[in-house]
Chains A and B, each alone.
Chain A
């Protein structure tokens, strides 16, 4: 029975666009009205991440994947909703209360060039979090830990006094991972950790992540554009569109029988090596920018099956017989 580690319910996040006070006033219907544009990046996300699993989040640019990651990590506060770590609520913590969870939850970013401090050697990068979270360790114990950690991500301990720019992209990403692992977390959020890397280097980093997961029963929330990676690495997949999860399924089920119209389009678009795959399902238009809080189904504007109900009510996530959950009226109505 999987143990829920992180539970997210009704999560919303709206960014107010930073227009000046004056430009927030609009003249409409003969009156001045205060009007503040905001971007609704998350519109009610419900999600559970189990211990030891890799939950992959996929979806187009701007659908809210990075925002979800940042809200979970407490890097930005949600506008509504709750996040629990085991049985403790963690979305409303102050910095001091958050300390404990900083240790349990770590993040790896997309760009290995930007996420490491260029003025800190690898040794400094790693010794800071280790000493901070383990004040009881002596200096030599910290050093030992750093050496072991570097070796475990395939970086020679001899190079620990080098700076980030002296390493390749793949090596830097492995150092970022070493930094995340340095405090022995239970949970790592990785936001596109592979997208700046070549296939050959991607393989190194993915293998490392799988090794560490096995060693420590780590849980990953893994954000990626690359569906081949998802198929290989994920335990379950969450498909996101305009700030909502529209399908959540065990990986094999999702790839074998994608159900949501958006998931179907997304999967048909992957360029595959074999040349005789079916024509991609063309979606009309691009992802709209969510300046209004969506009413009805978030996919309505691009969905070939949309009907009146889709414009009015938001479809709830419904469990299907094969273990997947889908939010779509057409499926519920048996039209699809």
Chain B
């Protein structure tokens, strides 16, 4: 059984004037210990998907239909107590801004001890020892000293390490990390990613890494989901997606990277920009920006199909596959 399976998930925003669709028919699975990435431009719906998995999507957003199963248990049908249990013990979240999780008026140590003691009945002294051990585990130097410091006394990189330490305390099955290194420096980014990777690997924790940086993703995730305007448009092994992207949007994202053009040459920009929820175009939502768009793309929604190694929602790819299939038939 899959550890997590999301199927045909629709998330809407209920606005005064209209009903806006934020996630449309999103499906994917996650196995125990597997690491997947969700990529796409800002506004694609990555964070909404991250929040939806733990049913944390706030008003005016709500899960309209679909299913999110943690093993055999349906998350969309859980009551608050069951959800808190899932969020505390089985699925942990890490955000871009560590201060979203850390309490500015409590010391690092008190926060960790509180986390431990809310789950296990042990003495303060024992909890303190565990906390210090975890701080050590996430490579924080002189953890005894840090234990008594407040979040603002720590650098961004150190705060993110503290978050990872507190996530480790919960011993979760899944970590959802929403742009965990975007606010950090390149050198520190690399260290935090390495830490996250090691911890997931060593403890068999599954990871959902949300990022807009394909360079970051290629280092960590085995599989990648590309999102555009609330849809998953491509899904497959990360290396396949990076070396042989099928969907025109994925191709565009990769081609826009500076390393895809000779130094000093103009970069390949994707024209236009991600539509807002209210302005989502008909048919394939990417068609106004797609160099291959046809009449059909403007009217109909392409289905998600398996193309051999990855799955893609694009008429161009679909037509190509059909052509191959027909050729094969003619030959035989």
Contact = CB atoms under 8 A, between A and B. Distances in A.
Interface of A: 60-61, 168-170, 198-204, 206-207, 210-211, 225-229, 231-233, 251-252, 265-266, 269-275, 280, 282-283, 285-287
Interface of B: 41-42, 141, 155-158, 184-191, 193-194, 212-216, 218-219, 239, 242, 252-254, 256-259, 261, 263-264, 266-270, 273-274
Instruction: Specify which of B158, B193, B269 lies most central, judged by the most chain A CB atoms within 10 Å of its CB.
Output: B269
Contacts of A204: 269
Given A61-B156, A270-B186, A202 B213 contact: no
A286 B157 contact: yes
Contacts of B187: 60, 265-266, 269, 280, 283
Q: Top 10 closest A-B pairs, CB basis?
A: A232-B258, A203-B267, A271-B215, A203-B269, A269-B190, A203-B256, A198-B41, A200-B270, A269-B187, A228-B258
Contacts of B216: 271
Contacts of A169: 42
A232 B270 contact: no
A271 B269 contact: no
B179 to A, nearest CB: 12
Contacts of A269: 186-187, 189-191
B158 A286 contact: yes
A236 B253 CA distance: 27
B188 A286 contact: yes
A269 B156 CA distance: 17
Contacts of A200: 41, 252-253, 256, 269-270, 273
Nearest to A284: B141
Nearest to B157: A286
A207 B267 contact: yes
B41 to A, nearest CB: 4
Given A271-B218, A271-B219, A199 B257 contact: yes
Contacts of B258: 203, 206, 226, 228-229, 231-233
Contacts of B253: 199-200
Nearest to B190: A269
A285 B273 contact: no
B259 A231 contact: yes
Contacts of A61: 155-156, 184-185, 188
A207 B42 contact: no
Contact of A275 (B185, B239, B263): B239
A206 B267 contact: yes
Chain A CB within 10 A, most for which of B191, B242, B263 = B263
Nearest to A62: B155
A231 B257 CA distance: 11
17 contacts: A60-B186, A60-B188, A61-B184, A198-B41, A199-B253, A207-B269, A210-B264, A211-B266, A227-B186, A233-B258, A233-B263, A269-B189, A271-B190, A272-B259, A273-B242, A286-B155, A286-B158
A226 B181 CA distance: 13
Contacts of A252: 263
Contacts of B158: 286
Contact of A225 (B185, B194, B261): B185
A185 B261 CA distance: 28
Contacts of A206: 258, 267
Contact of A266 (B186, B213, B239): B186
Contacts of A233: 258, 263-264
A97 to B, nearest CB: 37
A117 to B, nearest CB: 23
A228 B42 contact: no
Nearest to B267: A203
Given A200-B269, A269-B191, A273-B215, 19 more contacts: A60-B186, A199-B41, A200-B41, A200-B256, A200-B270, A201-B273, A203-B256, A206-B258, A210-B266, A226-B186, A231-B258, A231-B263, A271-B219, A272-B218, A273-B214, A273-B257, A280-B187, A282-B191, A287-B155
Contacts of B214: 199, 273
Nearest to B268: A203
Contacts of B190: 269-271, 280
A60 B155 CA distance: 12
B188 A271 contact: no
B259 A232 contact: yes
A321 B297 CA distance: 57
Contacts of A265: 187
Q: Which of A199, A265, A282 has the most CB of B within 10 A?
A: A199
Contacts of B252: 200
B41 A207 contact: no
B220 to A, nearest CB: 9
Contact of A228 (B156, B194, B257): B257
B151 to A, nearest CB: 15
A169 B42 CA distance: 10
Contacts of A272: 215, 218, 259
A193 B161 CA distance: 27
B259 A228 contact: yes
A214 B38 CA distance: 37
